[in-house]
């Protein structure tokens, strides 16, 4: 148990109400030294846990603020320690004054993430849950919030515990066999073990795979906007991003750099990648940009191909061959821009042209980026193309790079176990690989994680959490 009592401002600046957290063995008596309840009999040290007490914070004779103090007693608090939370008015002057008074009376200012670190050290949550707290604070969309919430509630931890239990059973059978190795007995039925290994492998593989889904939810569905120069890519991007980040210009080839930005459409985060226009050219800088365009296309899930509708047949003809091989397994949206400049017959001719298009699972749409027409429908099309699995708070999805790495190593270890069982290798080699698999899973929950890694994780928190 940690002996220091720590304090920190837990709310962001600028709100009407501010909150200061105090945690540690002296949390209650230090708070009492600066707080006088309105009703004299309601002294904090005598109060029951989970109560609110109304009163004033004093600096000597001077009243600093009228506040409410919430009280928690060990082990039933966020950190597992005695804690108080002082809710006062949100002025940064008041918050600073209260903080100073607490420090003067024996508290120490908390390090970033120290409250959550104490919760972890006191067994209130495992490391994967503690990390989810940081994600929860950082969540900006409904989907990232749902992900972090599910992890904090411990769905992931439960899967890990189940896996580790299965693996421990596995090793104990093998190790029992090793103890009796002289007598050449096989306690562990090899085919039953293989079945067990297969079922463990399935769960780990699913978790490793879920990282891709988690990653897309967290960082956005990558959409590459491609097309010939002057098709209107930058103009569209500006409309989607609602700002003038990309350069719009009449001179061919101005969008030389790849610009990325995220935007939230219907609750889904999209990461738009505007690319250099594709055009045969001798300009080396522009050629470099074009090369990068194709690299970006390979990373995208959705390809938004902008075509200048006034020049559609030649633009389709010009790019199809180069582009389509890169579109395998991706969602392709043909976006005919500048529809304000074409007549109805031209539109029909383009639609007719599409009936012979070599790729079948495509969407197409006419828009005018300049006049903002059709862009709402395009956004709807993007939302449908993203077809993210709807996740619930009960789904276990891995979003953290550290967890993903540990799971990938666990997967490699269990693959070696499966291979070993198939090749009938001796028990001690099997036991070693199983132990390695357990080690990596335990790393996620923080059971074998070294201090340096721990420090690193909690450092990324904000102070007060």
Q: Is 85 annotated in some ligand binding site?
A: yes
Q: Which of 84, 337 has the CB closer to ligand GDP?
A: 337
- Is residue 171 at the binding interface for ligand GDP, with CB under 6 A as the rule? no
Rule CB under 6 A: choose which of 97, 116, 150, 255 binds ligand GDP.
Answer: 255
Which of these ranges, 130-138, 196-204, 363-371, 451-459, lies near ligand GDP under the rule CB under 6 A? 363-371
Q: Which of 77, 229 has the CB closer to ligand GDP?
A: 229
Cβ within 8 Å of residue 155, ≥6 positions away: 393, 394, 395, 396
Q: Which residue is nearest to ligand GDP (CB)?
A: 232
Q: Which of 86, 312 has the CB closer to ligand GDP?
A: 312
Work out whether the CA dihedral 436, 441, 444, 450 comes out positive or negative: negative
- Is residue 250 at the binding interface for ligand GDP, with CB under 6 A as the rule? yes
Place of tokens 């693996």: 167
Pairing label, strands 221-227, 35-37: unpaired
| Distance from the first to the final alpha carbon of the chain | 18
Angle made by CA atoms 173, 177, 178, in degrees to the nearest 5? 120
Which of these ranges, 107-115, 134-142, 313-321, 332-340, lies near ligand GDP under the rule CB under 6 A? 332-340
Report CA-CA distances (Å) from 103 to 5, 20, 68, 343. Answer: 9, 12, 19, 74
Rule CB under 6 A: choose which of 118, 124, 146, 233 binds ligand GDP.
Answer: 233
Q: Is 235 annotated in some ligand binding site?
A: yes
Q: Is 252 annotated in some ligand binding site?
A: yes
Q: Is 321 annotated in some ligand binding site?
A: no
Q: Which of 23, 293 has the CB closer to ligand GDP?
A: 293
H/E stretch holding 357: none
The span from the CA of 95 to the CA of 97, in Å, is 5
Cβ within 8 Å of residue 248, ≥6 positions away: 234, 235, 238
Collapsing DSSP to helix, strand or coil, 273 comes out as strand
- Is residue 285 at the binding interface for ligand GDP, with CB under 6 A as the rule? no
- Is residue 369 at the binding interface for ligand GDP, with CB under 6 A as the rule? yes
Binding region for GTP: 230-235, 249-255, 274-277
Binding region for Mg(2+): 234, 255
Residues that bind ligand GDP (CB under 6 A): 227, 229-235, 248-250, 255, 277, 337-338, 340-341, 368-370
């Amino acid at each position: 148990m940690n002996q220091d009592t720590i304090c920190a401002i837990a709310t962001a600046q600028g709100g009407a109400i501010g909150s200061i957290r105090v945690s540690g063995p002296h949390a209650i008596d230090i708070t009492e030294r600066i707080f006088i309840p309105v009703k004299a009999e309601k002294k904090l040290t005598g109060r029951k846990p989970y109560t609110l007490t109304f009163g004033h914070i004093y600096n000597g004779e001077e009243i600093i603020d009228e506040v409410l103090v919430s009280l928690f007693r060990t082990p039933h608090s966020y950190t597992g320690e005695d804690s108080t939370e002082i809710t006062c008015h949100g002025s940064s002057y008041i918050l600073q004054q209260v903080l100073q008074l607490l420090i003067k009376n024996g508290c120490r200012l908390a390090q970033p993430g120290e409250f959550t670190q104490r919760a972890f050290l006191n067994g209130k949550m495992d490391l994967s849950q503690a990390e989810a707290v940081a994600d929860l604070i950082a969540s900006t969309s409904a989907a990232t919030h749902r992900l972090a919430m599910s992890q904090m509630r411990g769905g992931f931890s439960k899967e890990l515990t189940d896996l580790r239990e299965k693996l421990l059973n596995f090793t104990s059978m093998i190790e029992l066999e090793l103890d009796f190795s002289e007598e050449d007995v096989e306690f562990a039925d090899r085919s039953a073990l293989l079945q067990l290994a297969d079922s463990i492998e399935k769960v780990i593989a699913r978790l490793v795979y879920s990282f891709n889904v988690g990653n897309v939810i967290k960082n956005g569905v990558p959409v590459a906007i491609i097309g010939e120069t002057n098709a209107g890519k930058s103009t569209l991007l500006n409309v989607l991003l609602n700002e003038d980040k990309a350069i719009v210009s009449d001179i061919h080839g101005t969008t030389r750099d790849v610009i990325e930005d995220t935007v939230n459409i219907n609750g889904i985060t999209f990461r738009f990648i505007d690319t250099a226009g594709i055009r045969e050219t001798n300009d080396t800088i522009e050629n470099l940009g074009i090369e990068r365009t194709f690299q970006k296309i390979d990373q995208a899930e959705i390809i938004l191909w902008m075509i200048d509708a006034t020049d559609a047949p030649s633009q389709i003809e010009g790019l199809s061959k180069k582009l389509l091989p890169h579109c395998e397994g991706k969602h392709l949206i043909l976006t005919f821009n500048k529809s304000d400049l074409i007549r109805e017959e031209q539109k029909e001719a383009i639609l007719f042209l599409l009936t012979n298009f070599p790729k079948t699972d495509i969407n197409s749409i006419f828009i005018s980026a300049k006049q903002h027409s059709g862009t709402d429908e395009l956004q709807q099309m993007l939302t449908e193309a993203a077809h993210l699995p709807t996740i619930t708070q009960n789904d276990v999805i891995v979003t953290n790079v550290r967890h993903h790495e540990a799971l990938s190593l666990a997967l490699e270890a269990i693959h070696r176990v499966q291979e070993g069982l198939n090749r009938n290798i001796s028990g001690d080699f099997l036991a070693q690989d199983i132990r390695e698999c357990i080690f990596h899973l335990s790393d996620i929950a923080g059971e074998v994680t070294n201090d340096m890694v721990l420090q690193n994780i909690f450092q990324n928190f904000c102070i007060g959490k």
